[in-house]
Structure 1
Amino acid sequence: MFVLKNDQFIRRNEATIDIEDRGHQFGDGVYEVFRLYNGNIFMLSEHLDRLVYSLTELKIPYDISKKALKNQLHELINKNGVKDGGIYLQITRGVAPRSHPFPQDVHPQLIAYTIPVSRPTEAQENGVNTTLVEDLRWGRCDIKSLNLLWNIMAKQQAKEHGYFESILYRSEQHITEGSSSNFFGVKEGVVITHPANRFILNGITRIAIKQICSELHIPFKEQILTLNDLQQLDEAFLSSTTLEVVPVTSIDDIQVNGGAIGDITKQILEQFILKTKS
């Protein structure tokens, strides 16, 4: 298996990381997960736009155009012979003696490699159960940074109690998103999700769903949902690069749509799958 490290393709067992890499010591870096369908990177431009945004917000000086990153990712796919799966990519600020301020004359470090990903068919056909967990993450969730500690703690809490995903809420009882997904509610035919501000990550699949709703003439509203609103939802679903679109059948003791998958969720999922084949 080949790995892209900076501008070189090397074998995975040769892809070492320096102990003073700031990503290792501070989580000082950003990442993206790309989905591959039939050898093509799904919504590549949107992923790269978000990567540039995250790099800019953290002031990491990495020019993806100058590095010809798009071409390198396609070469990585070809070298590994991958048709269906994913790519994990991260860029850290670089290697420097451990000190909190940004170091001078440091060179960002990139690692990218292919990963196995398959369509979560069972979850899409049967729906999933979820649980509510308070959102204690930092206040810049719009940056896709390497700092995911509360995300994994919330995911682990869900797993330990037999749930598929945690739905996060802030102290004012506002629903934000899942621990590794965006959350959507459907009420009276309207798809509702949290505004794309600093409290959530603007997921690439979230962007695709917004486009799909426009194509299907389904009203789409970016609006804060509260814990009280959950009782009134007709449908709910999650989205992410690896989940695609997954229906939610319960949120703790709240049964959504009687535990059945709603028609709007089905329409969006079907249209999304069609997009991945085009």
Structure 2
Amino acid sequence: MTRTVYVNGEYLPEDQAKVSIFDRAFLMADGVYEVTSVLGGKLIDFDGHAVRLQRSLDALDIRNPLIRAEWLEIHRALVTQNGIEDGLVYLQVTRGAPGDRDFAFPPADTPPTVVLFTQNKPGLADTPAAKVGIKVISVEDLRWARRDIKTVQLLYPSLAKMMAKKAGCDDAWLVEDGAVTEGTSNNAYIVKGNKIITRDLSHDILHGITRAAVLRFAREAQMEVEERAFTIAEAQLADEAFITSASAFVMPVVEIDGVALGGGKPGLVTARLREIYLDEVRKAAI
């Protein structure tokens, strides 16, 4: 079945969707994106993604072309039209297509480009990886300094993921000045003595929507949380490790640079956090 996608105000079959070759995202990576999960046909943490979208657009001085209600309507329409029970809705907003290539921003009245599409992921919350865990390697963090803006500049994270695959692993943790920043497309955590440790918010990491929810649920469950940087060596001595993202939710990490954690099996804290997270966000889904 051909997907229905959304491009600049129109719902179209995916093979009819077109974006200008002069679009700033294509030429300059001048755009931002969000990915919202769908479970049971409902959107997970939609408001969090909408707020972060606005933050990213403001940081790049790109006009938000739609209001919250319009974004929600499009998301729901695509979920319905594409029959998505479990999956993802991807949205991208760019500075638009001024008609030619120039480093300078186009005129302020240039319409932003808006694209949304769905990805069908049956059993998204029941992936086998959550039961066995993933393996990661460490890679030098060579990205630009504003990782808190969710831009479409994803070449280096893609390269790092491929480095991990080449090493027979699932993902990479990025390291800068001796400390872990985050994963290639996720936030990184370790657990030591029932204390959850993750890097504090700054320009160095993405302000994860799932991160915020997981840490809130952890504190509500009387778990201790410490927001600070940690090293790969410290992580290898941890009792547990995990990542969070909109599509992985809470995913255990069982090996870091060849060193197994917890006997190479997911830990109890991670498993409990995943359970709490999925229960709570399903109840709040819209």
Give the TM-score taking structure 1 as reference length: 0.96
How far apart in 2 are the matches of 1:99 and 1:36? 38
Q: Is the counterpart of residue 30 in structure 1 residue 36 in structure 2?
A: no
Q: CA deviation at 1:272?
A: 1.7
Aligned to 2:139: 133
Query: What per-residue deviation string (whole Å, max 9, x for no partner) do you get for residues 90-141 of structure 1?
Result: 0110002100011113110000011122235211101111101010000000
Query: What per-residue deviation string (whole Å, max 9, x for no partner) do you get for residues 167-215 of structure 1?
Result: 1100x10111111111100111110111121111111111121121022
Q: CA deviation at 1:49?
A: 0.4
SS at match of 1:266: helix
8 Å Cα contact 2:148-2:206 kept in structure 1: yes
Q: Is the counterpart of residue 152 in structure 1 residue 158 in structure 2?
A: yes
Q: State which drifts further: 194-203 or 48-57.
A: 194-203
Aligned to 2:184: 179
How far apart in 1 are the matches of 2:97 and 2:45? 31
SS at match of 2:269: helix
SS at match of 1:119: helix
- Aligned-residue sequence identity (percent) comes to 34
Aligned to 1:113: 117
Amino acid at match of 1:132: S
How far apart in 1 are the matches of 2:257 and 2:184? 15
Amino acid at match of 2:101: R
How far apart in 2 are the matches of 1:243 and 1:21? 30
How far apart in 2 are the matches of 1:189 and 1:107? 50
Closer, same or farther: CA 66–230 of 1 in aligned 2, 3 Å: closer
8 Å Cα contact 1:194-1:223 kept in structure 2: yes
> Which portions of structure 1, spanning 4 or more consecutive aligned residues, are displaced by more than 3 angstroms?
none
1:1-278 matches, cutoff 5 A: 1-65=3-67, 68-96=70-98, 97-104=100-107, 105-117=109-121, 118-119=124-125, 121-170=127-176, 172-278=177-283
Amino acid at match of 2:94: T
SS at match of 2:117: strand
Query: What per-residue deviation string (whole Å, max 9, x for no partner) do you get for residues 136-163 of structure 1?
Result: 0000000000101110010010011110
How far apart in 2 are the matches of 1:230 and 1:121? 24
Q: State which drifts further: 158-167 or 266-275.
A: 266-275
Query: What per-residue deviation string (whole Å, max 9, x for no partner) do you get for residues 70-100 of structure 1?
Result: 2221122222222211111101100021000
Q: CA deviation at 1:260?
A: 2.2
Query: What per-residue deviation string (whole Å, max 9, x for no partner) do you get for residues 230-261 of structure 1?
Result: 23311100111111111111101322122122
Amino acid at match of 2:222: H
Q: CA deviation at 1:273?
A: 2.2
Q: CA deviation at 1:268?
A: 0.3
8 Å Cα contact 1:182-1:239 kept in structure 2: yes
Closer, same or farther: CA 66–77 of 1 in aligned 2, 3 Å: closer
Q: Give the number of aligned pairs.
A: 277
How far apart in 1 are the matches of 2:52 and 2:137? 28
RMSD: 1.4
8 Å Cα contact 1:37-1:276 kept in structure 2: no
Amino acid at match of 1:13: D
SS at match of 1:3: strand
How far apart in 2 are the matches of 1:112 and 1:30? 12
Closer, same or farther: CA 276–189 of 1 in aligned 2, 3 Å: same
Give the TM-score taking structure 2 as reference length: 0.93
SS at match of 2:253: strand
Q: State which drifts further: 124-133 or 110-119.
A: 110-119
